[in-house]
Amino acid sequence: MTQQVSAHHLSRLAYLYVRQSTLQQVLENTESTARQYALRERALALGWSQERIVVIDQDLGHSGASTADHLGFQRLVAEVGLGQVGLVLGLEVSRLARNSSDWHQLLEICALTRTLILDEEGLYDPATFNDRLLLGLKGTMSEAELFILRARLQGGILNKARRGALKLTLPIGFVYTETDVVVLDPDLQVQASIREVFRSFAHTGSAFTTVRHFRQQHLLFPRRLRRGAHQGELVWAEIEHHDVLRLLHHPAYAGAYVYGRSRTTKTADGKLHIQDVPRANWVALVREAHVGYISWEDFESVAAAANG
């Protein structure tokens, strides 16, 4: 192995790239993190001094699906491209990148700058055909592994949802008990506010008029904070038109369990786009799954009227 390391390589820095996909892995899978940091000993054995080994660990807790937001990986690629790096160290290929384009870009730059790559299994020179071929295969296998893991995870989620067993975020007016049973919010004021929305809409047939009714009567509408230091806390504010429509169209208020009402996609510029899915294409719709505020028949009538 040491025969591949020349004075040319030792005149440059050795960069150790450390990454874990999630913050939970960083906290719980400490052995993997320790093994990654321990690769510094391999660099020392190959001739690099301690002060010439640079550790990049700012991507800890970031998914490896894409390096677009990985400042650590971008820094690594930039330093290799500038000819500052003689050796790149990573626990395995998947620690560097799980995306083929990102991985092959790094291989290409390493080959051009005569930079070596080292993992737990060996030392590689991307400028040589055999090592380049092996590293390319490793990258492809790593990306395939990620795809398989995602498919299995998604399949498990969908199967659980179809049974109505997947725990979902509940709309306002419902809470989980300690045994994960869905019940009406024990706050009677919350219940009264929800029922007033349905009562007003049934009387007026208009979401806008329902909003006007709440404001004329100085009635506030409840919300539970979804994030932040006060997550889960109840707050009251003026009702908005979208609040009314959300209630009128959500099957949970008729006691139904539903999954797959919307689909989220990411645009080329990284923005999330949420699109409604026709009922025929919902993953799961289980009626009478839990207590509700109105009957299913009333829900069908209300939803149809709201669409009109």
Q: How confident is the model at residue 36 (pLDDT cuts 50, 70, 90)?
A: confident
Q: What are the tens digits of pLDDT across the range 224-250?
A: 888 888 888 899 999 999 999 999 999
Decide: 299 and 250 in contact? Cβ < 8 Å.
no
| pLDDT over 80 (residue 142) | no
What pLDDT does 104 receive? 85
Mean pLDDT computed over 43-60? 88
| pLDDT over 50 (residue 64) | no
In 3D space, the residue among 8, 43, 2 whose CA is nearest the CA of residue 113 turns out to be 8
| pLDDT over 90 (residue 218) | yes
What pLDDT does 34 receive? 77
* Backbone φ, ψ for residue 188 (5° rounding): -65, -30
Run of H or E including 275: strand 272-276
| pLDDT over 80 (residue 27) | no
Percentage with pLDDT > 70 across the chain: 87
Domains within the chain, CATH numbers bracketed: 2-160 (3.40.50.1390), 174-307 (3.90.1750)
Q: How confident is the model at residue 57 (pLDDT cuts 50, 70, 90)?
A: confident
What pLDDT does 26 receive? 43
Q: Three-state SS string across 28-75, please?
A: HCHHHHHHHHCCHHHHHHHCCCHHHEEEECCCCCCCCCCCCCCHHHHH
Q: How confident is the model at residue 32 (pLDDT cuts 50, 70, 90)?
A: low
Q: What are the tens digits of pLDDT across the range 173-207?
A: 999 999 999 999 999 999 999 999 999 999 999 99
Q: How confident is the model at residue 149 (pLDDT cuts 50, 70, 90)?
A: confident
Let me know if 2 is exposed, middle or buried by CB neighbors in 10 A (0-12, 13-18, 19+): exposed
What pLDDT does 213 receive? 96
CA distance 86 to 13: 6
CA distance 234 to 14: 53
What pLDDT does 37 receive? 81
CA distance 106 to 81: 9
The residues that bridge with 264 in the sheet, in sequence order, are 274
The per-residue DSSP string of 208-273 comes to HHHHHHHHHTT-EEEEE--SSTTTT-EEEEE--HHHHHHHHH-GGGGT-EEE-SEEEEE-TTS-EE
Catalytic residue ranges: 21
CA distance 45 to 298: 75
| pLDDT over 60 (residue 23) | no
Run of H or E including 139: helix 129-162
Decide: 192 and 210 in contact? Cβ < 8 Å.
no
Pick the range with the lowest mean pLDDT from 2-6, 151-155, 237-241, 263-267. 2-6
Q: Which residues contact 306 (CB under 8 A, 6 or more apart)?
A: 201, 207, 245, 248, 249
Nearest 5°: CA angle at 96, between 81 and 137? 100
Q: How confident is the model at residue 209 (pLDDT cuts 50, 70, 90)?
A: very high
CA distance 120 to 138: 13
Q: How confident is the model at residue 54 (pLDDT cuts 50, 70, 90)?
A: very high
Decide: 249 and 205 in contact? Cβ < 8 Å.
no
Average pLDDT over the chain reads: 86
Pick the range with the lowest mean pLDDT from 5-14, 50-59, 61-70, 285-294. 61-70
